[in-house]
């Protein structure tokens, strides 16, 4: 009879702390601007992580700005967490200027990292083991006194435990005594193997009953995902991850593998949104794009090849019985089998977006849906990409559904830009119309900003609501061969009305034209969505489902 050698001590649910914006931003060649940080935070909140560790106040002004900026949005699921180290040696916590900045960030939760490896205390911090305990205690105590909840991140815990387990445990006990709400065991050098992680985590969980224990794993031995899972199997109830595993050196535990492993395989609930898992591939893509990295097609769960079958023997078998060759259904993580006809799964995406963004219930056999997909496909072949620009795809769908009555047209535009060694200046002129025509001009430094200002000024006459719409992000990509200045450019613009975000895209060899088109679409989408919302309000008042 089969005996299990390793006990599964996994709790029924775990908390997910995503640190893409903090630890992920330590990755080589990765830096997020403030708009990217906001977009990623909102996407993380949507899939339902519990905590978003977003930056280290005091380390750079961008992080501080983010904590202000994110307050403009209402998050549904996640708590924003500021990150900081223990106070400096020989200074009281209230005197430490960095801790002052952490309080200024005004988050409910703070992660404090502190040393738990004696070697680091004596060789790196150059202080005594005793003073390090005081630093841990004082910092946590001070933050607790100032109303914060504290996650204590025990840096190098596993290395420290291997060499001096007594001191490592003393650091944890000190943090608990000071009031830490979570204790996180970090494999900062990333060199642990899964059986070691299980042994140490289970020991700590049993030694510190009632204390929520977390794990924070790096990937230097190629085991970050496995080590995180083994931490949970050993009884951890809190995991630290980054999207796509981005992070310093070889990266962190990948949210996109850890979360489905927990939810689909261990039966441990990890996300607050029950449908969050289905948005995993989209989240992965967003973070790659905003980080300026090329997606890894071989990535587990969310990679383009994760459900691609090449060997003839397998393809044949899959058509007979998917479970025979797929560890999970691709749809469960928002991915798709690459054998499937893409038209079909494209339809599922488009229908899902129409439902989520516009409240429209459509059938994938609807001829309008199929016509829209065909046009989207053609545009993708020309260099368009709609994955992060859902509004532009929906406008095509709305047009095919007969719901896109053009409210206004761009009739003519002209830009003059000129400069010399002293600088440059631009003028933009725009004529828009909806029967009557409106011509306006504006100036700016760059040509796009000049013509955008002119466009807004002209549109105010036709669409007064344009006042409510502001830009959150403006991005320029070279979609294809970027050999020449005459390349196509793809512009991606993200808008907000203070409540929601939406993104449009346009491709042209002329950056001004691409920008104007994406701007026009963003305003148009806003107008149509508002109209649909009003209609839905009326329909719902009549208790009718807004089915088309």
Minimum Å distance from CB 94 to a copy of itself?
22
Q: Which of 35, 149, 332, 345 binds a copy of itself (CB under 8 A)?
A: 35
Helices (H), 242-385: 255-260, 280-291, 312-320, 342-358, 367-381
Of the candidates 523, 388, 391, 389, the residue with the CA atom closest to the CA atom of residue 452: 523
Of the candidates 378, 413, 439, the residue with the CA atom closest to the CA atom of residue 513: 413
Query: Site mask, a copy of itself, residues 227-256, x = CB under 8 A?
Result: x-xx--xx----------xx-xxxx--x--
Of the candidates 366, 299, 311, the residue with the CA atom closest to the CA atom of residue 335: 299
Q: Please say which residue, 310 or 499, places its beta carbon nearer to a copy of itself.
A: 310
By the 10 Å C-beta count (0-12 exposed, 13-18 middle, 19+ buried), 382 is classed as exposed
314 contributes a contact to a copy of itself by CB under 8 A: yes
Minimum Å distance from CB 503 to a copy of itself?
12
Stretch that binds a copy of itself, among 41-49, 129-137, 213-221, 461-469 (CB under 8 A): 213-221
Minimum Å distance from CB 233 to a copy of itself?
5
DSSP conformational letter for 87 = P
Transcribe 460-499 into DSSP letters: HHH-GGGGG-EEEEEEEE--S---STTS-EEEEEEEESSS
219 contributes a contact to a copy of itself by CB under 8 A: yes
Stretch that binds a copy of itself, among 47-55, 73-81, 185-193, 342-350 (CB under 8 A): 185-193
Q: Which of 241, 447, 457, 502 binds a copy of itself (CB under 8 A)?
A: 447
Minimum Å distance from CB 63 to a copy of itself?
13
Stretch that binds a copy of itself, among 194-202, 268-276, 362-370, 531-539 (CB under 8 A): 194-202
Of the candidates 376, 379, 326, the residue with the CA atom closest to the CA atom of residue 349: 376
Q: Which of 90, 222, 405, 537 binds a copy of itself (CB under 8 A)?
A: 222
Using CB under 8 A as the binding rule, the residues of this chain from 115 to 144 that contact a copy of itself are: 117, 119-120, 123-124
Stretch that binds a copy of itself, among 4-12, 372-380, 434-442, 524-532 (CB under 8 A): 4-12
Query: Site mask, a copy of itself, residues 53-92, x = CB under 8 A?
Result: --------------------------------x-------
By the 10 Å C-beta count (0-12 exposed, 13-18 middle, 19+ buried), 474 is classed as middle
Q: Which of 238, 285, 457, 475 binds a copy of itself (CB under 8 A)?
A: 475
3-class secondary-structure state, position 109: strand
Q: Which of 130, 421, 436, 543 binds a copy of itself (CB under 8 A)?
A: 421
Minimum Å distance from CB 394 to a copy of itself?
21
3-class secondary-structure state, position 163: helix
271 contributes a contact to a copy of itself by CB under 8 A: no
State which H helix or E strand residue 173 sits in.
helix 165-177
Distance in angstroms (rounded) separating the CA atoms of residues 223 and 221: 5
**Cβ atoms within 10 A of the Cβ of 418, count?**
8
Q: Which of 91, 92, 193, 361 binds a copy of itself (CB under 8 A)?
A: 193
Of the candidates 259, 223, 261, the residue with the CA atom closest to the CA atom of residue 241: 259
Distance in angstroms (rounded) separating the CA atoms of residues 111 and 181: 10
Q: Which residues pair with 217 in a beta bridge?
A: 187
Q: Please say which residue, 122 or 461, places its beta carbon nearer to a copy of itself.
A: 122
Q: Which of 101, 182, 240, 309 binds a copy of itself (CB under 8 A)?
A: 309
Q: Which residues pair with 110 in a beta bridge?
A: 82, 150
Q: Are 99 and 140 in contact (CB under 8 A)?
A: no
Using CB under 8 A as the binding rule, the residues of this chain from 493 to 522 that contact a copy of itself are: 508-513, 515-516
Q: Please say which residue, 77 or 242, places its beta carbon nearer to a copy of itself.
A: 242
- Beta carbons within 8 Å of 47's beta carbon, 6+ residues apart: 271, 273, 276, 277, 279, 280, 283
Minimum Å distance from CB 259 to a copy of itself?
11
Stretch that binds a copy of itself, among 12-20, 46-54, 277-285, 293-301 (CB under 8 A): 293-301
């Amino acid at each position: 009879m089969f005996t299990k050698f390793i006990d599964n001590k996994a709790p029924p649910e775990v908390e997910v702390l995503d640190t893409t914006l903090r630890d992920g931003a330590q990755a080589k060649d990765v830096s997020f601007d403030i708009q990217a940080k906001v977009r990623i935070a909102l996407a993380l909140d949507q899939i339902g992580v519990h905590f978003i560790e977003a930056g280290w106040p005091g380390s750079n002004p961008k992080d501080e700005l983010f904590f202000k900026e994110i307050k403009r949005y209402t998050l549904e699921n996640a708590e924003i967490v500021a990150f900081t180290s223990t106070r400096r040696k020989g200074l009281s916590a209230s005197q430490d200027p960095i801790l002052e900045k952490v309080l200024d960030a005004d988050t409910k939760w703070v992660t404090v990292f502190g040393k738990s490896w004696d070697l680091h205390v004596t060789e790196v911090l150059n202080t005594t083991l005793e003073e390090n305990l005081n630093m841990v205690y004082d910092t946590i105590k001070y933050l607790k006194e100032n109303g914060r909840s504290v996650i204590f991140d025990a840096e190098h815990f596993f290395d420290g435990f291997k060499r001096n387990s007594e001191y490592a445990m003393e650091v944890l006990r000190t943090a608990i005594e000071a009031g830490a709400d979570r204790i996180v065991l970090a494999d900062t050098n990333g060199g642990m193997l899964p059986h070691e992680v299980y042994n140490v985590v289970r020991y700590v969980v049993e030694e510190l009953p009632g204390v929520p224990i977390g794990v924070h794993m790096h990937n230097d031995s190629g085991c970050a995902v496995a080590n995180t899972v083994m931490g949970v199997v050993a009884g951890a109830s809190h995991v630290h991850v980054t999207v796509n595993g981005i992070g310093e050196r070889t990266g962190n535990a990948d949210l996109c593998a850890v979360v489905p492993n927990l939810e689909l395989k261990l039966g441990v609930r990890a996300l607050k949104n029950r449908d969050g898992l289905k948005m995993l591939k989209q989240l992965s893509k967003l973070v790659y794009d905003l980080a300026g990295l090329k997606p890894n097609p071989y990535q587990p769960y969310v990679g383009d090849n994760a459900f691609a079958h090449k060997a003839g023997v397998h393809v044949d078998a899959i058509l007979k019985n998917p479970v025979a060759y797929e560890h999970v259904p691709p749809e469960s993580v928002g991915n798709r089998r690459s054998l499937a006809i893409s038209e079909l799964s494209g339809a599922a995406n488009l229908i899902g977006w129409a439902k989520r963004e516009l409240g429209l219930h459509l059938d994938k056999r609807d001829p309008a849906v199929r016509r829209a997909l065909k046009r989207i496909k053609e545009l993708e072949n020309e260099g368009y990409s709609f994955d992060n620009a859902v509004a532009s795809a929906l406008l095509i769908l709305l047009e095919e559904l007969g719901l896109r009555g053009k409210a206004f047209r761009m009739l003519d535009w002209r830009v003059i830009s000129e400069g010399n060694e002293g600088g440059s200046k631009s003028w933009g002129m725009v004529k828009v119309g909806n029967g009557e025509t409106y011509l306006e001009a504006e100036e700016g430094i760059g040509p796009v900003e000049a013509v955008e200002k002119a466009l807004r000024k002209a549109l105010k006459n036709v669409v007064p609501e344009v006042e409510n719409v502001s830009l959150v992000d403006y991005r320029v990509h070279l979609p294809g061969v970027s050999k020449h200045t005459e390349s196509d450019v793809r512009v991606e613009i993200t808008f907000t009305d203070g409540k929601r975000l939406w993104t449009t895209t346009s491709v042209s060899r002329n950056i001004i034209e691409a920008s104007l088109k994406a701007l026009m679409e963003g305003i148009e989408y806003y107008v149509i969505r508002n109209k649909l919302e009003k209609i839905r309000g009326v329909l719902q008042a009549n208790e009718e489902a807004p089915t088309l």
